Amino acid sequence: MTASELAGRFEHIYGSVPRIFRAPGRVNLIGEHTDYNDGYVMPAAIGFFTQVAIAPRSDRKLVVRSEEFERDFEFDLDHLPQSRVGAWCDYVLGVASVLQQEGHALRGANLLVRGEVPIGAGLSSSAAVEVASALALLSLNGAAMALPEVAKLCQRSENNFVGARVGIMDQFVSCMGKAGHAFFLDCRSLEFKLVPMPPDIRLVVCNTMVKHALASGSYNQRREECEEGVKILARWDPAIRALRDVSLELLERHAKDLSEDVYKRCLHVVREDQRVLDAAECLRKGDLKRLGELMRDSHRSLRDLYEVSCRELDVMVEAAEGLPGYCGGRMTGGGFGGCTVSLVHSANAEDFAQEIAKRYEAATGIKPNVYVCSAEDGAQALN
Ligand code: GLA
């Protein structure tokens, strides 16, 4: 839906002319489950967007509707919930609630949300809603907030209001992504580098159609296992604050002090951080062969050490092997379902999409959605 179509829908429903903001979903090329360990990630924003249309009201109500979900919601700005209500509006409401808790004076408003990022597919539909909502709400009280701050605000909303202990990657790249570039981010310092994508490479995103709805418990559990590792390893080196600070050598030396699961989680993170550094270098040098190998290694590690893959993701990754133009690929996002990302030469991308869909369906009986994507720009105002 275009912005002017959404504006038309808004006027029809609410009788006023809105401003419209949009924010994209993302794929992560490499660096999985490293962001909350103060490590490195290299995602890219993709061309699926959530748009939020907004106009002020004269009273103190926040009215939130969506083009995708039946139920609309009305809240009193003077009594906003402080934690999730268990409905789709949580990602909008959470941002409003956190803004208010942090001293921003919100105005009454009507909102209409149009989301085109596939939900529960590991492409950060929630970050897209949060970021677009934050820009929309901030626009009404005239407060300028730098995009990295918007990203952090949205992460706090997801951590504290929604209750998912996510890292900063999704919100950050949704805010700051750049067309034609991978986004290398140091999740400790929040310094980033834009790494140009070779123009003849496409990001082919294959949705297994397995929803990762049950994943949030396991996600938080993985975080706890990483924290457990840090607690134990810091006994030998008090400078260790996060797995980012752990060398492979120190980890191996103290492997026997960790439970088997905690050791495996730590090993994944420590090696994955190095893979992201290597992958950024490969992309810079145009070494797609080695980059592809790093992506394959990352997948195997997520499958065997971090244990966040599932049969369908493994089938999809395997199905890509041998197809013309394929450089490499892996599961992307938190895991337990969702999508894979494959680097494919542009000339082969459409054939690749068709062929992998056939192979996957033959192996699983599930018809996947396959999208041929490029890196796109992050969040922006549309009018
Ligand atoms: C989800 C989270 C991110 C990140 C990934 C795993 O997408 O929102 O912060 O932790 O999982 O890499």
Burial of 324 (0-12, 13-18, 19+ CB in 10 A): exposed
**Domain containing 185: what range?**
3-196
**For ligand 1, which residues put their CB under 6 angstroms from it?**
32-33, 35-36, 166-167, 169-170, 333-334
* pLDDT tens figures, 124-144: 999 999 999 999 999 998 878
Indicate whether 20 belongs to any domain: yes
| Known catalytic residue at 200 | no
Domains held by the chain: number:
1
When mean pLDDT is compared across 9-18, 133-142, 207-216, 220-229, the lowest value belongs to 207-216
Closest CA to 197 of 178, 216, 215, 170: 178
Atom of ligand 1 nearest to the CA of 28: 12
Q: Is the pLDDT of residue 214 over 60?
A: no
The model's pLDDT over 344-362, given as tens digits with 9 standing for 90+, comes to 999 999 999 999 999 999 9
Flag whether 63 is in a domain.
yes
User: Is residue 75 in a domain?
Assistant: yes
Which domain CATH number covers 110? 3.30.230.10
On whether residue 247 sits in a domain, the answer given is no
Pick the catalytic residue from 38, 90, 170, 245: 170
Question: What residues pair up with 66 in beta bridges, in sequence order?
Answer: 113
- 283-342 pLDDT, tens per residue? 999 999 999 999 999 999 999 999 999 999 999 999 999 999 999 999 999 999 999 999
Residue-by-residue DSSP string for 207-253: E-----TTHHHHHHHHHHHHHHHHHHHTTT-TT--SGGG--HHHHHH
Strand partners, 278: none
Q: Is residue 358 part of a domain?
A: no
* 68 belongs to a structural domain: yes
User: Could you tell me if residue 236 is inside a domain?
Assistant: no
Å from CA of 333 to ligand 1 middle: 6
Residue 143: predicted pLDDT: 79
- The contacts of residue 239 (CB under 8 Å, 6+ apart) are 245
Q: Which of 187, 175, 213, 194 is closest to 50 using CA atoms?
A: 175
Residue 7 lies in a domain: yes
Residue among 213, 151, 239, 199 nearest 374 (CA)? 199
